[in-house]
Structure 1
């Protein structure tokens, strides 16, 4: 089994004609928890968007969960995203549906058909984030931290090989951020690979792990002490 879930070689990332990041060489192995840090505007989001197929890779070579990013075709993007769990800063839950219906929507959109299997899967992922009793609630009835837990549960629905978390604690207070981090770390301990973009340095100090930094249009690994 391939132990590398993400590898980029001599990659440059562009937003339209603008070069955002260049000379990226990195590898993320199965089971790692990796931070991607950097100031706002340093290219973290562009980097993440390239990984889930929102920005095409036009320079260098890259593979993610066995997809070739350079050769990725539009029609393959949904299949790539099924192997990725994506967690956004602003949760992106459908406001007019309950938690359970938000989950059902994703499962149906990704090809699940059997009601019983879907119900079991939803209960399983909600259990993993400590939200088993909240399935009947609407997003607006939940706190920010609860909504982010639901968003993490949603990212787990298709047993992704890699979870991309883009500033998952960006809209949360420090205490809630720690709670959400603990959920992510539990998921990582259970064997999931996580790449998390953040500018919350307090979290890095509290939960040290392998860290990549976006700075001066480069991405490089930093030794924790110098963060």
Structure 2
């Protein structure tokens, strides 16, 4: 069956998306030039040519400007579109690897800066915990529907949190090691760890 063709966003939605993108670009540019503390709401607003109240309306928590990238609704939709009988870990692997590839292709500098600031700035790291929890709830709903469990079932919650934890720790590892390795390959490797744990050392 052919997938439904998504409706074209309205003019209002396109304007909102354009404003959000301008705010994000300004914030990343200021953070890259002078650090996150220098990227105040007022300076971001001036660089994006909007009012400070507009920045606050789109991003009530300033750190969300850095952390709002891949849309949670889109991740959920992509997870729901995976084959019904596919292993849950493989479904999430496909969705997350695709999201990371897209981020690296479309916003390589922003992706690297976001990972670095997540490691360096406690407020960014703390906010990431909150936003990851919301992402987890959406993905848990999709997994629950696929597996016939309740969204708040312990197994669903633990599994989803573990996968998103792997994504977070992979990004931190990547940033801490100078972003020299392939982030997609690192995430793929991290997700393998969830299936069997760290490999035991070879006997002497």
What TM-score do the two structures reach when normalised by structure 1? 0.27
Larger Rg: 2
Higher strand share: 1
**TM-score, with normalisation over the residues of structure 2?**
0.30
By percentage of residues, which structure has more helix?
A: 2
Q: Which has the higher contact order (CA 8 A, sep 6+)?
A: 1
